[in-house]
Amino acid sequence: MIPTENPRTRRNTGLTRRGFLGRSAGALAATAAFGFSRPSARAATDGPRFRIGACDWSIGKMADTAAFDVAKEIGLDGVQISLGTAGNNMSLRQPEVQAKYRDAAKRTGVAIASLAIGELNNIPYKSDERTIGWVEGAVDAAQALGVKAILVAFFYKGDLKDDKAGTDEVVRRFKQVAPRAEKAGVILGIESWLSAEENMAIVDRVGSKSVQVYYDVANSEKMGYDIYKEIRWLGKKGAICEFHMKENESVLGKGRVDFAKVRDAIGEIGYSGWMQIEGGVAPGGQMLSSYVENRKFLRGLFPA
């Protein structure tokens, strides 16, 4: 979830954290396209199966290359970067801005993990004509920067929950941009308040491997969904492009999400790729120390 949305008030499920020393499930099933595949015996030489990053807005550097310096201090593998804002005309679409991000990544050794379009929470993809060009430009920027996933946000004014007309328009627009994304080898990931079934209905209607689900564990927990069941169900359909590993008002592992169960579900679907830390700071807590703790916690569950 990108911090421009106004979260809905939803019943919490009362799930509590359990110890994370459970035994990981062993069954691994292949997932879908664009490099998110079942690990093999070559994994040790091909690179880490799981890479841990953070959203630039969560570490206080939205649409700012200084996010890479902060990420390096935390010890992260990468940063999920913002396409920009309406005020800067989604600046990451500009080649000269892309060059600055490449330079920052090279200088710090911190990768560009994925892209996000948070401004869609204020200026909705479902209704504003400007956003058509933004999403197309995000696909081009992702290809230029060599990343595979783009978070397409649907919160606050962009919320699709119980909005049939808005959903229909989003499906229409996704169908238009999908061939461009397929050609670029880029996935548009839906992040929303929708359930797994509601998200999958959109994915099925678009009918393209370039439109998938961007799964945020804390959003789904807040909505009362069974996140561990949803991860398995969506993952076995090859429909999850990336994860937000998130807690609301606590560091990871000390809130409402059972990350040991998340690990087991991810193990069963054979996901391999990026997971981005979002939120994960207790009220009154410090971002930097909290994110160091979050990174260590996640790496303990998902070793490279």
pLDDT digits (tens), the chain, 304 positions: 665 544 443 333 333 333 333 333 333 333 333 333 333 333 333 556 999 999 999 999 999 999 999 999 999 999 999 999 999 999 999 999 999 999 999 999 999 999 999 999 999 999 999 999 999 999 999 999 999 999 999 999 999 999 999 999 999 999 999 999 999 999 999 999 999 999 999 999 999 999 999 999 999 999 999 999 999 999 999 999 999 999 999 999 999 999 999 999 999 999 999 999 999 999 999 999 999 999 999 999 999 8
Domain ranges of the chain: 48-298
- Show the tokens assigned to 27: 């069954």
Contacts of 45 (CB under 8 A, 6+ apart): none
User: How many Cβ atoms are within 10 Å of 242's Cβ, its own excluded?
Assistant: 27
Whether the model clears a pTM of 0.75, i.e. scores above it, the answer is yes
Q: 3-state SS of the chain: helix, strand, coil percent to 5? A: 40, 15, 40
Do you know the residue count of the chain?
A: 304
Query: Phi and psi dihedrals of 77, rounded to 5?
Result: -85, -25
Query: Among residues 96, 90, 138, 135, which one has the least CA distance to residue 114?
Result: 138
Q: Was domain 48-298 assigned CATH 3.40.30.10? A: no
Question: Which amino acid, 80?
Answer: Q
